[in-house]
Amino acid sequence: MAESLTAKKVRAGKILADLKLLYPNAKCSLDHASPLQLLVATILSAQCTDVRVNMVTPKLFAAYPDARALAAASQEDIEKLIQSTGFFRSKAKALRQTAQSLVELHGGEVPQTMAELTAFAGVGRKTANVVLGNAFGQNVGIVVDTHVGRLSLRLGLTKQTNAVKVEQDLVKLIPQSDWTVFSHLLIYHGRAVCLARSPRCSQCTLLAHCPTGQRNVVGHS
């Protein structure tokens, strides 16, 4: 019998509570000291680990401390600094174009609405959610990266694989005040326990709430 939305909400609440106990200090893992730095780091994080981005951004931020400096930078100079993040040519182009738009349209400041952010080059809904939630404390949506998508599917909180549709399912289950932290909690758990290739289901605190984990444990018993 299919799980009702009410029952799924209750289960999601238990998952959220358990994750908060497990990872009380969960936060954005991209190092940043301003909304602009977070926007830049998030653009660089596409198809790249946060650890690698955090290795690259100190020199980038030192060379271009504000939007005007980044907008005036050459494509080649940015490419050299971010090369190890992959797709560096398209990322450098996106960074320059975004910085130019910030200067021309917003006085060099990062705007605080989804519509304004997603109008920039290289900025989709996921990146905008990261910036709004972590730089401005606005729970506008839930960031769905590979970890969040994988765990949401395994936990039976969605049947979708498309990030936008996963987000649409999750916002119905999680209180809006927890939208930003919920992503961080799933990311932490995805890195520590619910690994992509070999999830540690028998050791998982969420086992009682996870249909996939229960099947895996039974299958190996």
**CA separation for the pair 2, 63 (Å, rounded):** 55
- Residue 83 DSSP label: G
Catalytic residue among 8, 50, 91, 126: 126
Annotated catalytic residue within 20, 145, 165, 178: 145
User: What's the CA gap between 77 and 52, in Å, rounded?
Assistant: 19
Q: Judging by beta carbons within 10 Å of its beta carbon (0-12, 13-18, 19+), is residue 108 exposed, middle or buried?
A: middle
Q: Encoding tokens for residue 113?
A: 């609405």
- Give the phi and the psi of residue 141 in degrees, each rounded to 5: -165, -175
CA 213 – CA 76 distance, rounded (Å):
48
Gap between the Cα atoms of 178 and 193, Å rounded: 21
What does the DSSP assignment read for 107-167? TTPPP-SHHHHTTSTT--HHHHHHHHHHHS---------HHHHHHHHHTTS-S--SHHHHH
Q: Which residue has the tokens 């997603």?
A: 118
169 among known catalytic residues: no
| 18 annotated active-site | no
- As annotated, the active-site residues are 126, 145
